[in-house]
């Protein structure tokens, strides 16, 4: 076992704008005007879809290369389904995504069978996919500064 630690930091700015950084890279998320934000970036539930799609792309590339499959182009369309009454306070509804659908559009000349096996492997080994589908131990702690 060789645990690797990834780090990030999020800072609440004015309105609904949040600036996050990880290894010096910056991500600005916000909410649309109609949700009380200033629409300067995608929102957090959209950002998690992008993290998932990106991870699925990279794992597909890695596994395709191991399997000797040539991918000419890969695009993944993602769709997340969420009932906002959940985070707005209705405790009979979960606040997070009920489901996420991920459709791979793969350009390749390899056999249908090979592609099917590739997708099966991607579902098995994708880090963000596993985190999102199987959940993870989320530990929240806090420090108060006066």
Residues 43-72 that bind a second copy (CB under 8 A): 43-61, 71
Coil/strand/helix, residue 73: strand
146 CB neighbour count, 10 Å cutoff: 2
Query: How large is the angle between the packed helices 112-125 and 44-67, nearest 10 degrees?
Result: 130
Q: How many CB atoms lie within 10 A of CB 126?
A: 22
Residues 106-145 that bind a second copy (CB under 8 A): 106-109, 112, 115, 119, 122-145
CB-nearer residue toward a second copy: 68 or 109: 109
The structure tokens listed for 60 are 């597909």
Q: Closest approach of Cβ 141 to a second copy, in Å? A: 5
Q: What is the C-alpha separation between 144 and 50, in angstroms, rounded? A: 32
CB of 68 to a second copy, least distance (A): 16
CB closer to a second copy, 27 vs 68: 27
C-beta of 68 vs 100, nearer to a second copy:
100
Q: How far is the CB of 63 from a second copy (least distance, A)?
A: 9
Q: How far apart are CA 79 and CA 18, in angstroms?
A: 23
Out of 33, 67, 68, 99, the only residue in the binding site for a second copy (CB under 8 A) is: 99
By CB under 8 A, residue 16 contacts a second copy: yes
Site string for a second copy, 18-37 (x = CB under 8 A): x-xxxx-x-x-x-xx-----
Q: Do the beta carbons of residue 65 and residue 42 sit within 8 Å?
A: no
At 42, phi and psi to the nearest 5?
A: -70, 170
């Amino acid at each position: 076992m060789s645990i690797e630690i990834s780090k990030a930091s999020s800072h609440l700015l004015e309105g609904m704008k949040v600036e996050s950084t990880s290894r010096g890279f910056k991500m600005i998320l916000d909410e649309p005007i109609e949700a009380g934000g200033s629409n300067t970036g995608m929102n957090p539930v959209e950002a998690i879809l992008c993290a998932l799609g990106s991870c699925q792309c990279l794992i597909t590339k890695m596994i395709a290369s191991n399997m000797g499959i040539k991918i000419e182009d890969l695009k993944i369309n993602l769709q997340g389904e969420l009932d906002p009454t959940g985070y707005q306070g209705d405790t009979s509804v979960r606040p997070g995504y009920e489901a996420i659908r991920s459709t791979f559009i793969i350009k390749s000349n390899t056999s249908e069978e090979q592609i099917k096996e590739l997708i099966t492997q991607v579902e098995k080994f994708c880090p963000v996919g596993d985190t999102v589908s199987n959940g993870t131990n989320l530990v929240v702690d806090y420090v108060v500064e006066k």
